[in-house]
A and B are shown apart, each in its own frame.
Chain A
Amino acid sequence: MNEQKLTLKDLIKSKAQEFGLPRLIITGFLLLLLVLSPIVGADLPTQISNIINRFSWNGILVLAMVPMIHSGCGLNFGLPLGIISGLLGATLSIEFGFEGPVSFIMAALLATPFALVLGSVYGWLLNKIKGGEMMIATYVGFSSVSMMCMMWLLLPYHSPNMVWGMAGKGLRTTISLEGYYTQALASFLQINIGNLTIPTGALLFFALLAFGMWAFLHTKTGTAMTAVGSNPDFARSAGINVDKIRMISVVMSTWLAAIGILVYEQGFGFVQLYMAPFYMALPAVSAILIGGATVNKASIMNVVIGTILFQGIVTMTPTVMNNMIHLDMSEVIRIIVSNGMILYALTRKTEGTR
């Protein structure tokens, strides 16, 4: 009896260790917030539908992290590059005059070639600098965003819904998607129960892509990708073209980021240009890490759990805190939690470091 109890304790202990202390704290914190919110007078169903909504906006951006982690390219801090492809698709779709949900499909189609081209260049670059991916990815993201800042002003866009009214040229910093694809996915089969709203379409779209990713990772190429990530030398001697696999993973990640930002926009209702994509990589990176991924290991489950936990904290803290002590510290908490999580992951010992 006693012995069995001990093993059970050990089991719990090992499970907890596997789960990781920071993750445990964050989960505990979120549960505490959920328990507190009715007590301090916030409406729980509204809160929960907020979290679900936020999840549907951000899920795909977080999913975009998976392929590159699998192929050993590390965390994709170069996410803004994919986001830019998405923004190009979105603005072009509006410029060509597509309306309603069709504009979403067209935006996705128009974004794809940009994502493929930019992703290939980015992948080629990352193959040149194996081992230093993350830092260079960060700066590739930054330089491409600041480069596009000039482009948004210079490119010949004319649609009156997008350009500055006075000058008649140069895109606005935020473009409303009213009449275009705002809520294009979310309103599909939307479920409303009292204050609880579930954006079924957006969730289904995420599920579709997540399932696609899961299925891909079980194909021959997908297994090869995992092999490259866990041991590139072994993979090379097994006859896998390491550079090509890494290239595929980077292109996939970039394309998912492009689609991810479109889904984000359809939920949010606005296209944000100029400096907006600048720091968008950080929340996605920390979300997948909170979900239990490491620098060289990630699963679809990590994406789902991480996005729920991260977005849960982001949406719950301001309301609960405001109701409780009339003090909005959510921004500070968000910065500390998300960057602390990335820091924690970076300092873990990982076998995959070359």
Chain B
Amino acid sequence: MKNKSIGDYLRRFSVPLMFVIICLICAPISGLSPNYLINEIVTRIGRNAFLILSLLIPIMAGMGLNFSMTLGAMAGEIGLILVSDWQIVGIPGMILAMIVSIPISTLLGLFCGKVLNMAKGREMITSYIISFFINGIYQLVVLYLMGPVIPIVHSTIKLPRGYGIRNTVSLLSMRQHLDNLIPLNIMGVKIPVATFIVIFLLCLVIIWFRKTKLGQDMRAVGQDMDVSRDAGIDVERTRIISMILSTVFAGIGMIIYLQNMGNIATYSSHSQIGMFCIAALLVGGASVDKASIGNVFLGIILFHTMFIVAPKAGTVITGDSMIGEYFRVFVSYAVITVALIMYETNKRKNKSKAGMQLALDQEQEEANG
């Protein structure tokens, strides 16, 4: 029994372990100083943690990895574009952008939840296609409607043709304002205290949320939809709420992410974000149906260490900078692929185990009766 549990542990943590090994091999080869590495990782925790935390709630509700967190990211970007046109700077600008983004992401989350309720059992592929679909609508809004329909005043963010938004929108007026709100420097490592406080608050909210009635309902729905329906839980509504929460958090997370970056790549910022966040979460040891806050932080540290170190190490080993670049993209996709395969095989194994148990019980009953 004990042996088996050690094997189980090894399997559960195989992905993080693999990453620890990759990082340990690549870090010395890359020749980056530890100080630089730690600095980068701390920055990236501040930048990404909020976004990745937004993935936890749908996992709790049994809806798998929320590939449509991109929707929230788009809402956040729309908020930021509008606020930078209104020229509201600094922290008030960020807060206003969040306020603008919330109704948009609520609507998008509602849409997403409704569609996913129609596609039960294939939530992930559907949420993945939703992100593409809404990306089309986002482009329609940003490229054609911003200007003639939604007033945009300043030509610095408008395309030269008079409508539509430029490829990059500068956020210089709020760049790292949240990060530098409470400056702290420990041995040359810059720590964005205020951002960490916000992230910490979200962690508290998630922990608290799990204990509420709604959170319990969500977990029940995630366990078994039919049983929870019999128990009087409105399954559809619960699932929609979990999508809305996730989308809203992703929107706020995107605003925090972009204030750190300092500019918006209007048409590409959001497209990769879902993939990288999900890969990071999985690297932290989460699976499709189980994820904790610990997974989030472990995931960011490991995944982003690999992310910083791999291109450099690749350049040193092969003399070609592109190899490392492609390597890290490959690893992100491979991690997601492996996690999905493991999830599906486990699900099937459990199912057949349950079936076998049932048959055994029946046999026993027959023998007794």
Contacts and interface: CB of A to CB of B under 8 A. Distances in A.
24 contacts: A77-B125, A131-B121, A131-B344, A135-B340, A136-B341, A139-B337, A143-B330, A143-B334, A143-B336, A143-B337, A146-B326, A153-B323, A329-B140, A329-B144, A331-B139, A332-B144, A335-B139, A336-B136, A339-B136, A343-B115, A343-B130, A347-B118, A347-B119, A353-B121
Interface string B96-139: 00000000000000000001001101101110111011011101
Interface of B: 115, 118-119, 121-122, 124-126, 128-130, 132-133, 135-137, 139-140, 143-144, 318, 320, 322-323, 326-327, 329-330, 333-334, 336-337, 340-341, 343-345, 347-348
A146 B348 contact: no
Nearest to B134: A339
A331 B128 CA distance: 19
Contacts of A218: none
Contact of A347 (B126, B330, B347): B126
Interface string A112-151: 0000000000000100111110111011101100110110
B330 A139 contact: no
> Per DSSP, are chain B's interface residues mostly helix, strand or loop, or mixed?
helix
A170 B142 CA distance: 38
A140 B322 contact: no
> Per DSSP, are chain A's interface residues mostly helix, strand or loop, or mixed?
helix
A340 interface: yes
Contact of A135 (B125, B137, B144, B323): B125
B242 to A, nearest CB: 18
Given A138-B128, A343-B126, A347-B115, 12 more contacts: A77-B125, A129-B340, A132-B347, A139-B333, A142-B333, A146-B326, A147-B334, A149-B330, A153-B326, A335-B136, A343-B130, A353-B122
A153 B340 CA distance: 28
B348 A130 contact: yes
B125 A129 contact: no
Contacts of A335: 132-133, 135-136, 139
A146 B330 CA distance: 5
Given A146-B333, A147-B330, A336-B140, A346 B126 contact: yes
A345 to B, nearest CB: 9
A129 B346 CA distance: 9
Given A135-B128, A329-B144, A336 B118 contact: no
Interface residues of A, number: 36
Interface string A141-177: 0110011011001100000000000000010000000
A276 to B, nearest CB: 14
B226 to A, nearest CB: 15
Contacts of B336: 139, 143
A282 interface: yes
Nearest to A150: B326
Contacts of A125: 341
A132 B341 CA distance: 9
A203 interface: no
B326 A346 contact: no
A143 B348 contact: no
A346 B336 CA distance: 21
A342 interface: yes
CB-based closest 10 A-B pairs: A335-B136, A129-B344, A336-B136, A347-B118, A146-B330, A339-B133, A132-B344, A139-B337, A143-B333, A149-B326
Contacts of B344: 128-129, 131-132, 136
A165 to B, nearest CB: 16
A334 B156 CA distance: 29
